[in-house]
Structure 1
Amino acid sequence: MARTDIQGRAGRAVHPEQWAEVASVGGFFALRTAASGDATGPGRPLAALYAGEGAPLSARVDAVAARLGAPERRVAASIAHLGLAARLWSIALGPAALHGTLPDLGAERLLWDGRRTSPDDLLLRPGGPDREASAEALVECVVEGHLAPLAEAFRRDTPVSSGLLRGNTGSALAGAVRELHGWARKSGRPDVGERALALGAELFENPQLACTGALLSGPAFRRRSCCLYYRCPGGGLCGDCVFERPPGRSAARRGTRR
């Protein structure tokens, strides 16, 4: 497959007005920066979370468990992980598709407050310049820089399948591609939609993501695992679930979760 053609702005930072455009795609794409909020705040660097300071992560899993009435802690851990994975993919893929750049989203720069929800959960501190967006750069930044150590942090907190968490990674990426594609269609920006689809297709060629599922036309996604949301009271299957019907039930109840 041909590599994605993006006119990048390597070496320059995304301007506040460009972040505002990225945020217009949806709440998952919004990111507070030092220019738009307190650069310290109550959040902790994600690097600290990855290094083993897991109290904020445990508190987040507890909050999700209480909100959903999750019957097992691993169910809440999966849903909490999926939400944060979606945030990380969105704030990286949005600037990549819209402006051809990948911000410096290093784990030391990115503060997370698990008591808040998007767009108030993440704050980006000043740091290095952006680089030109590419699938390889996105894998290095998001998968290797965040989602791999994030999965380890979740598994330290809760016994949850590594395959399930990998599936969440693919599902979150596909959701970000789908949101960008839909926004581009409504906004009259076919170029953005095409870049999002091209980047998504290229990313799913990477072995770390190819094993999670398949990006289909539409765009749609079919994952090879289940996030366990169906186990919550009133929960159904997500639109990309590996199952056709919830295990142990006679009829499928597909939900509307991203």
Structure 2
Amino acid sequence: MTLDQVVALGPFFAHEQHPSGTAAVAPWRNMSELLDDPAVLEDRVMTTRAYLAAAGGQEPEAVEIRVAASITHLGLVARLVSPAFATSVLGDGVPPVDLESVHWQPVLGGAFPLSLAPPTTSRDLGAELFEGPIPALDRVTQPFNVSDHILKGNVASAINGAFVALTNAAPELAPRAKEVADALLAHPALHDTHTTTAGTFRRRSCCLVYRAAPNHDGPLCGDCVLSR
């Protein structure tokens, strides 16, 4: 069963499944609330801000809101991209990931609980992502003063992260995973967001997480434009 195979790949791929068109039942919530109620995303950004600040022994005000918003955005995108990417690689179609169809539990820290409707072969992964949750999450995050360049870089990073995690967990899937990742990264929406040299992916922006540390002196991600 493909769902079991996807779940076995790791926490960011793991998800539950609910029948298409069903309403979320507590403790599940419909992910479209991020679009319908600005307070939901604001609460998650502020909670992320406090979490990042505590990790550096600081007060929440020491972390810029745009930093917390970027990290929030990256986490949301990565969590949605990963299971859809893996399902597509395994050849079982694509689950709907438009936010109206997705159920979640907005707990903080790592991979939050996620439930998707069953995949179908009639869906195209690129269209499902770039016509659904990606522009929607970009749009609702922009009021936190995160540049479009950073948001697009977060998406590219999430796709590459799903590729790396999947191939580490299942090396035999690497050729197909690379094919799917390359197609997504070539999408016009991600133009000029990344480079790949000698097999090494590097984004052309920074998610800003280093700025959450005291004196803006935190570690950089491995794919960061600032890494050397």
* Fold conserved between structures, TM > 0.5: yes
Q: Which residue of 2 aligns with 1:244?
A: 227
SS at match of 2:202: strand
Q: 1:74 to 1:119 in 2, by over 3 A?
A: closer
Q: Which residue of 2 aligns with 1:88?
A: 80
- 1:147 corresponds, among 134, 138, 143, to 134
Please list every run of 5 or more consecutive structure 2 residues that lacks an aligned counterpart in the other structure.
54-61
Contact 2:98 2:129 in 1 (8 A): no
Deviations 1:99-145 (A, max 9, x none): 34112233222023322455543222x57x61256xxx222111220
- 2:38 corresponds, among 36, 54, 61, to 54
Contact 2:33 2:40 in 1 (8 A): no
Deviations 1:195-250 (A, max 9, x none): 110111122222112321024555x31001011011122621110011136xxxxx
Contact 1:174 1:215 in 2 (8 A): no
Contact 1:33 1:39 in 2 (8 A): no
SS at match of 1:27: coil
Contact 1:107 1:146 in 2 (8 A): yes
Over aligned residue pairs, what C-alpha RMSD do you find?
2.3
Shift of 1:92: 0.7
Alignment of 1:114-133 (within 5 A): 114-117=106-109, 119-124=111-116, 126=117, 130-131=120-121
Alignment of 1:179-258 (within 5 A): 179-185=165-171, 190=172, 192-218=173-199, 220-233=200-213, 235-244=218-227
Contact 2:166 2:177 in 1 (8 A): yes
* TM-score (ref. length: structure 1): 0.75
SS at match of 1:222: strand
Aligned length: 214
Q: 1:32 to 1:100 in 2, by over 3 A?
A: closer
Contact 1:57 1:114 in 2 (8 A): no
The percent identity for this pair of structures is 37
Q: Which residue of 2 aligns with 1:174?
A: 160
SS at match of 1:28: coil
Q: Which residue of 2 aligns with 1:42?
A: 27
C-alpha distance in structure 2 between counterparts of 1:33 and 1:153, whole Å: 26
C-alpha distance in structure 2 between counterparts of 1:20 and 1:216, whole Å: 34
C-alpha distance in structure 1 between counterparts of 2:68 and 2:185, whole Å: 26
Contact 1:230 1:237 in 2 (8 A): yes
C-alpha distance in structure 2 between counterparts of 1:62 and 1:89, whole Å: 23
Deviations 1:50-104 (A, max 9, x none): 2x31222111111111111162011011111111111111011010112341122
C-alpha distance in structure 1 between counterparts of 2:153 and 2:76, whole Å: 13
